[in-house]
A and B are shown apart, each in its own frame.
Chain A
Amino acid sequence: MTSVPRTAVIVGAGIVGAACADALATSGVAVRVVERERPGTAGATAAGMGHILVLDDSPAQIALTKLGRELWDARADRWPTRVERHVCGTLWVAADDEELAGARQRAEVYERWGVASRVVDADELRLLEPNLRGGLAGGLLVPGDSVVYPPNAARVLLDAAVSAGAAVVERAPVTAVGDGWAELADGTRLEADVVVVAAGIATPRLVPGSGLSIVPKKGHLAITDRYPGFVRHQLVELGYLKSAHGAVRQSVAFNIQPRPNGQMLLGSSRQLDDDDPRVDRCILAAMVARGIDYLPRLAALSVLRTWVGFRPATPDNLPVVGPLADRPGLWVATGHEGVGITTSLATARLVADRLCGREPPIDPGPYDTSRLREASTHA
């Protein structure tokens, strides 16, 4: 498919499918979205945290998260209150001098990329977040990061797509996809110039033989009752990236998010090779212990609920966005791991620009599907 598509089918209405629907529909493409459940109520989007952040573990990751954050900001006036968008900034917490040195390096990286950030010392850290334990070395403040409520953000994006002419089919599992077609469980066959599979962790099953490797990375969250002002920024330990992208089978890291209503979401945990949707009490306990270690007074605050979600993870921690080999009418957009809320809008932008023949704002190469072919020829 070389010309601009007139029609598109999007499989999955998580945040990525919803964002793609919006970007394509507003580009004039006739979009149909097919979702197994209901938009934004299933998958990682219904279970995740909604921290919009610039993450610096690789140049390609920075480029995509930065573009993602810019696009969230660009719609600032258009997010209704139910998206609960709140620019609280991220405060990366350094436990010791080694981590503080790491914070300084990150500040330099952010500066090169034009992302505002500032190293804070131990005293300022205490002022910014009085409930953090004593003896911490300092931190890195990234004031432009924000938080949102992902399930409603996905709906709002989908509503925007519908206003631009898109149609949504709910509670309709797609059973098979191919070059320019998708088949539903009830036998309906949908044809379109392009099919974009944004089905999160379910994507590989729909495109067997494509070389796409996505594994679910299980994560736990706990939500507290309302304690306005207990923390003011999204607080993340600087060791987080090690935990997030290390090769270990399970890890926890301190990560807490203030919601606009005073509730707090406590994360985070990562487990590979575990697709059990039940709460794992041991890893939950380890995660909670980590939280209390950083915020001792958290111990006495009430928890209302805990749950798990599965991040769609790729071997190189970058999403996979583009057409599958020899099937120009079959695209995938998935593999966003723990930053898919942040990068959903950037992904959608790449998809729409590439399909509509526009120059994307960043190089789409690092996220392209071509690396699947390389991986399979090297294997």
Chain B
Amino acid sequence: MADASPMRADVIVVGAGPAGLAAAHAAATDGARVVVVDENPETGGQIWRASHRAPHPRARALLAQLERDGVTTLRGTTVFDAVPPGSLRAVDAGGHSVALEAPAIVLATGATELLLPFPGWTLPGVFGAGGLQAMVKGGLDVAGRRVLLAGSGPLLLAVAAALRRSGARIVALVEQADRRAVRRLAGTLWNRPAKLGQAAALSVRLCGVPRHHATWPVRAHAGGDGWLRAVTLRGADGSETTLDVDLLGVGFGLAPATRLAQLLGCELDGDRVATDDLLRTSVPGVHCAGEAAGIGGVDCALVEGAIAGHSAARRDDLALRARRRLRRERGFAAALADAFALRPELRELPTSDTVVCRCEDVAYGALADHRDAHDAKLATRCGMGPCQGRICGPALRFLRDWAADRVRPPLVPVPMAALRETLATTDSTP
């Protein structure tokens, strides 16, 4: 049994996306010893993670700063357990257990894509939109492939643009929200030159791509080889059309990744981690920034990261100063959430034989008699598998208004040995 003593720091940041990197930088400039942990082999989070192109300039600048700041970065290291205030357990890529201790932690765990089940969504060829983008970044060749992007939110546009740049043929971009709502959002951008610029750049890159609003996918069809062949779309007026495609990237927005916060006992506010002005959670010593504290986009994540980093380093004065920039970002986030609010018709997407829980192969109809996630889980195994409800949990929150079931260690499947290591690394025995 490895008798590793825990790695100690003043501030531990979980997640190396924009929020986590900004938090690490802020805390380090305040003089704190900072450790950043991220499960991916590369830093940058969902948006900046290394692509086959050069890293994003903003990411590059931030990472260079962190290096100068002397921040320790643990890549490929997944936090699977946590005890308040600041005792974390992680596994590295080799399955070895790593213990970390600090009086303050910043949760910058980001978000996961909201995937709603509909008939055919489990066919090969159907991917989460963000997942598809990540696969292309990872080298998947989409040149000449017919790709449909459907669901909701600005992520679809970003993915469409990226895939197009990689040579994919975007058959259509299908947004469930009304055109009017989306236009209204664009109207709020007049005082945000940067965002307006991004939006304009995206429109140019998507020029010629058929765009549909108030439309959503209702069925994916398999070809003779079992692979995705076509997708049927339905409009709010009830009309249906079927498009032949090779790939479907689908996503209905983002759901804050709150499981680590829940394990620590942090209170939630709806689907996000509840935070105060200084991005402190309900658990002393635990801070939260970025998408986990509410979907807001990359600029919001950067500002929040700075606030949380300063407040974790006990520089509340600096945190409060950084806060001034937050109001505007939060305002934009609220407008975004409003514009892309999911329409109630989407609750009808799954039919009774649509698989909801892919780990345990549970059909939507099996959940009909149940009233909450815990109850349904015990009776049907829904959410009991390796992903522990990470995928079906947010979907059922939307479909059935079910709050997430209790989170228990480990947060992700880990080798049994990692749970044993706790013994060697916990100094207080009851």
CB neighbors of A among B397-422 (8 A): 408-410, 413-422
B430 adjacent to A279 (CB under 8 Å): no
Q: List 6 A-B contacts (CB under 8 A).
A: A281-B81, A282-B422, A282-B423, A284-B422, A302-B386, A302-B413
A-binding segment of B3-11, B105-113, B338-346, B374-382: B374-382
The answer to the question of A301 belonging to the interface, with a C-beta cut-off of 8 Å to chain B, is yes
Q: Are B413 and A152 in contact (CB under 8 A)?
A: no
The answer to whether A155 and B95 touch (CB under 8 A), given A282-B429, A282-B430, A300-B415, is no
Contacting residues, chain B, for A302 (C-beta < 8 A): 386, 413-416
Identify the closest chain B residue to A307 (Cβ).
Answer: B408
**Once the chains bind, are A305 and B408 in contact (CB under 8 Å)?**
yes
Min Cβ gap A326→B in Å is 39
Q: Give the docked Cα–Cα distance between A281 and B429 (Å).
A: 10
**Choice from A280, A285, A303 contacting B421 with Cβ under 8 Å:** A285
Given contacts A225-B386, A279-B408, A285-B420, contact A41 B415 (CB under 8 A): no
Question: Quick one: which of A38, A155, A285, A306 contacts B423, CB cutoff 8 A?
Answer: A285
Query: Is the CB of B83 closer than 8 A to any CB of chain A?
Result: yes
Query: In the complex the two chains form, what is the Cα distance from A283 to B409 in whole Å?
Result: 14
Does chain B have a CB within 8 A of A224? yes
**B261–chain A nearest beta-carbon distance, Å:** 15
* Beta-carbon nearest neighbor of A222 in chain B: B419
Question: Min CB distance, A259 to chain B, in Å?
Answer: 11
Decide if B325 is an interface residue (CB 8 Å cutoff). Answer: no
B371 on the interface (CB 8 Å rule)? yes
Residues of the B chain whose Cβ atoms lie less than 8 Å from the Cβ of A307: 408
The answer on a CB contact under 8 Å between B378 and A46 is: yes
Does B1 sit at the interface, judged by CB under 8 A?
yes
Q: A304 in the interface, Cβ–Cβ < 8 Å?
A: yes
A298 within 8 A of B: yes
Partner of A304, one of B386, B421, B430: B386
B416, A298: Cβ atoms under 8 Å? yes
Tell me whether B154 is interfacial, beta carbon within 8 Å. no
Contact A289–B420 (Cβ < 8 Å): yes
Q: Say yes or no: A306-B410 contact (C-beta < 8 A), given A38-B371, A281-B81, A286-B423.
A: yes
B203: chain A residues at CB < 8 Å are: none
B374, B408, B429 — most chain A CB neighbours (10 Å): B408
Which residue on A lies nearest to B407, using beta carbons? A305
* Given A222-B416, A280-B430, A288-B416: 12 more A-B contacts, CB < 8 Å: A40-B378, A46-B378, A282-B430, A283-B430, A286-B423, A288-B420, A292-B417, A292-B420, A298-B416, A299-B416, A303-B418, A305-B388
What are the 4 closest A-B residue pairs judged by CB atoms, nearest first? A285-B423, A299-B417, A302-B413, A285-B422
State in angstroms the CA–CA spacing of A225 and B384 once bound together. 10
A267 CB within 8 Å of chain B: no
Q: A291 an interface residue at 8 Å Cβ cutoff?
A: yes
Find the A residue at minimum CB distance from B414.
A303
With contact pairs A40-B378, A41-B375, A304-B386 given, residues A292 and B416 touching in the complex (Cβ less than 8 Å): yes
- Contact bitstring A271-287, B, C-beta under 8 A = 1, else 0: 00010000111111110
Verify A151–B379 contact, CB threshold 8 A.
yes
Task: Determine whether B426 belongs to the interface, using a CB cutoff of 8 Å to chain A.
Answer: yes
Residues of B within 8 A of A300 (CB): 95, 415-417
Provide the bound-state CA to CA distance between A155 and B375, in Å: 12
Q: A residues within 8 A CB of B420?
A: 285, 288-289, 292, 299
Q: What residues on B are CB-neighbors of A40 within 8 Å?
A: 378-379
Check if A289 sits within 8 Å of B414, measured CB to CB: no
A299 touches B408 (CB 8 A): no
- Distance in angstroms from A173 CB to nearest chain B CB is 16
Across the interface, which residues of A come within 8 angstroms of B125, CB to CB?
A: none
Contact of B385 with A by CB under 8 A: yes
Give Cα distance in the complex from A11 to B139, angstroms: 60
Once the chains are docked, how many angstroms separate the CA of A305 from the CA of B408?
6
Q: What separation, in Å, do the CA atoms of A86 and B81 have in the docked complex? A: 33
In the bound assembly, the distance between CA atoms of A282 and B418 in angstroms comes to 13
Q: What residues of chain B lie closer than 8 Å to A286, measured between beta carbons?
A: 423
CB distance from B117 to the nearest CB of A (A): 21
A291 to B417, CA, bound (A): 10
Residues of B near A289 (CB, < 8 A) are 1, 420, 423
Selected from B375, B386, B426, the residue in CB contact (under 8 A) with A282 is: B426
CB distance from B267 to the nearest CB of A (A): 16
Give A300 to B96 CA distance when docked, in angstroms.
10
Q: Let me know if B419 and A303 touch, CB within 8 A.
A: yes
Interchain CB contact under 8 A, B409 and A279: yes
Separation of A286 and B426 alpha carbons in the complex (Å): 12
Partner of A301, one of B410, B415, B426, B430: B415
A266 vs B417: C-alpha distance in the bound complex, in angstroms?
A: 13
Q: How many angstroms from the CA of A59 to the CA of B413 in the assembled complex?
A: 42
Minimum CB distance partner of A300 in chain B = B415
| Shortest distance from the beta carbon of A184 to any chain B beta carbon, whole Å | 19
Determine the residue in chain A with the shortest Cβ distance to B415. Answer: A300
CB-based contact A41/B374 at 8 Å:
yes
- Beta-carbon contacts under 8 Å, A28-66 to B: 38, 40-41, 46
B40 to chain A, nearest CB (A): 19
Partner of B415, one of A152, A281, A282, A303: A303
Q: Return B358 CB to nearest CB of chain A, in Å.
A: 14
Give bound CA distance, A44 to B208, whole Å. 61
